[in-house]
Structure 1
C-alpha cells in the first residue's frame, strides 16, 4: 500500500475511534499537487475536536508518521494537520458548514471506508 493511502487509512480509523462526524476522504492527487488526499471530519464540541486531533497524532506517530505542520490548535474550530501527501481538516460543526471544503474540492474523488480497507 502506498504511504499516502496508509496515512489516510490510519487517519480514518483514528477519527472513527473517537466518533468523528461525517468523515470524508477525498482523493485530490489528480487535480492538484497540494496532496493526494484531503480528509475532512468534525467534532461536536471543542473537547471532541481536540480529542480527534490528539488521536490522529498518536495513531500516526505510533506508525512512524509525523506531521510537517499543524495549524489552528488554539482555536479548536478548524485544525489543519499536514502530513505531506495527506492533509487532515478537523472542524467544529459550525466551521465545517461555513467553509464547505467538500464543495470546493468536489472535483476530487470521494473514497469510501471500504476502498481504504479500514478494518
Structure 2
C-alpha cells in the first residue's frame, strides 16, 4: 500500500456517505431533482411529471431534499396556499452531475440479457 493512503474510510466519512445515499441514493430523488431543474416546481405537477411516484413518497423526498439543502420550499399566501420548490446552489450542482450520469448511461447502455 502506498504511503499516506488510508487503510479504511474514516467513520465521519462513512456517516457522510450514508447520509448522502439516504437522500440522493433513493430512486425517486434523482427524478425529483431533474424535474425541478427542468422547471417543474409544484407538488401536483411533480406527481404528474414523475410516473409511478406516490404522493407519500414525493412528499417524503421533497422534505429530505429540502432538509439536505438541495431544494428550497416557498409558500405563497392565498387559498389554497401555493407551494413551489427550487434548486439551491448545491441542488444546481447536483442536477448537473445527475445529467452527466444520465448522458453516460446513454453512451453505455446495459447489455441485453
| TM-score, normalisation: structure 2 | 0.30
| TM-score, normalisation: structure 1 | 0.29
Which is richer in helix?
2
Which is richer in strand?
1
